[in-house]
Amino acid sequence: MAIANLSDLLAQGVSGRGVLVRSDLNVPLSDDGSITDPGRIIASVPTIKALADAGAKVVVTAHLGRPKGEPDLKLSLAPVAAALGEQLGKDVQLADDVVGRDARARAERLTDGDVLLLENIRFDPRETSKDEGERLSLARELVELVGATGAFVSDGFGVVHRKQASVYDVATLLPHYAGTLVAEEVGVLERLTSSTKRPYAVVLGGSKVSDKLGVIEQLATKADSIVIGGGMCFTFLAANGLSVGTSLLQTEMIDTCRQLLDTYADVIRLPVDIVVAEKFAADSTPEVVAADAIPDGKMGLDIGPGSVKRFTSLLSNAETIFWNGPMGVFEFPAYAAGTKGVAEVIAAATAKGAFSVVGGGDSAAAVRALGLPEDGFSHISTGGGASLEYLEGKSLPGLEVLSST
């Protein structure tokens, strides 16, 4: 699809013009409200900085968490505004509201190169409304903030699979462009779907099979191996007739997993051992057991060392690797070895020339939390769900609208 990008907009000149930027600043917060992983903020900086440096009056819109269409102090973008300002090396104003009196007043006072962040866009129920008229009304108010000569830059790849006011509808009202981040993500995913060097290995983790079903079905015919870990592996193990104790299990997906295993027996690879515990807690005592010997009263919280060894042989010679989802509860040190082991194998393959993509979300957070160098991977995506839907071949509304004139 032909999409105009940021360089096209900058070539026209943006000095003195209002530019509305949809960024993905949905970062994880600790209980005290501090940012635990600033990855998405850092990834959003190049587009915002390029526009500000070129003299645009930049109005940024983004969401944080899942407020129920009304203000929630715990999900204010205040810590994000401070962190974004540090990364940009300049003050980032935060409006008290989304498109209300404070947002309008601040937008009117912007001078060339200023950056204004609107409060959490999902505080307004129209953002996620299924009613097109409601979304359009919010989109028009957003457009008013940048004026008649304004432009829209879509740079929140993590939300391009959503048909929302700040992602989709504003692009129908303004000249629209893909930001640096969105253009880069699309380029990487096109490479994964069209010109893939083999052997091609896919590593899938996370909790639910249902979240990854579409991508498994799509990639099983393209990949040489699909390695499965994380909570979702227990539904596959159950489909093989094994007992999984009290491990996470999607019983309604067992038949589907059985069919996948039957159809793609030469592609899908499961763990051979599991790290189990009596309870889901960081201080629970870990025990390594064979995958076919999980005790009735215990739950699996990570893949075991034998599984890492097995997966290493599959991944070490791969030319292309796509990884989405941790292998275990990496937030608990005792159950992080599986995720770290697999990540280190992917990084080693990358060092030998493989093209590796970390598919956003928890996988990206795990790379940073475990202290692994980000440049050890070819690309770390900012959009887990969007990446998966793209690879499934689904139409992403936020990208489709950018390709329209």
Q: Is 176 within any annotated ligand binding site?
A: no
Name every residue whose Cβ is closer than 8 Å to that of residue 67 and which is 6 or more positions away in sequence.
75, 120, 122, 123
64 appears as a binding residue in the annotation: yes
Q: Is 331 annotated among the ligand-binding residues?
A: yes
Of the residues 206, 361, 384, 398, only one is catalytic, namely 361
Q: Is 362 annotated as a binding residue?
A: yes
40 is catalytic: yes
Q: What is the DSSP string of 110-145?
A: --TT-EEE-S-GGGSGGGG-S-HHHHHHHHHHHHHT
Looking up tokens 């992917």 gives 346
The residue type found at 255 is D
Residues forming a β-bridge with 204: 228, 324
Answer whether 149's CB lies under 8 Å from 171's CB. no
Angle at 352 between CA 347 and CA 356, to 5 degrees: 45
| Spatial CA neighbour of 25 closest among 89, 76, 93 | 76
65 is in an annotated binding site: yes
206: alpha, beta or left? (left if phi > 0; alpha if psi -120 to 50) = left
5 annotated as a binding-site residue: no
- Which residue, 150, 131, 180, is CA-closest to 7? 180
Q: Please, where are the H alpha helices in 194-320?
A: 209-219, 233-239, 254-263, 305-315
* Among 323, 365, 381, 383, CA closest to 38: 365
Is residue 76 within 8 A of residue 118, CB to CB? The reply is: no
Annotated active-site residue in 40, 126, 298, 340: 40
Catalytic residue among 191, 208, 368, 394: 208
> Annotation-wise, does 361 bind a ligand?
yes
Whether 22 is catalytic: no
Q: Is 24 annotated as a binding residue?
A: yes
DSSP state of 245: T
Sheet hosting strand 320-324, strand order edge to edge: 268-269, 225-228, 200-204, 320-324, 355-358, 379-380
Annotated active-site residue 361? The verdict is yes
Strand intervals (E) in 179-221: 200-204
- Beta partners for residue 288, in sequence order: 275
Distance separating the N- and C-terminal Cα atoms of the chain: 12
283: annotated binding-site residue?
Answer: no
Interatomic CA distance for residues 212 and 369, integer angstroms: 23
- Residue 158, helix vs strand vs coil: helix
385 is catalytic: yes
* 273 marked as part of a ligand binding site: no
The Cβ of residue 352 has, within 10 Å, a number of other Cβ atoms equal to 10
- Where is the binding site for substrate, in residues? 24-26, 40, 63-66, 122, 162
- Where is the binding site, in residues? 24-26, 40, 63-66, 122, 162, 212, 300, 331, 360-363
- Where is the binding site for (2R)-3-phosphoglycerate, in residues? 40, 122, 162
- Where is the binding site for ATP, in residues? 212, 300, 331, 360-363
Question: So which residues are the catalytic ones?
Answer: 40, 208, 361, 385
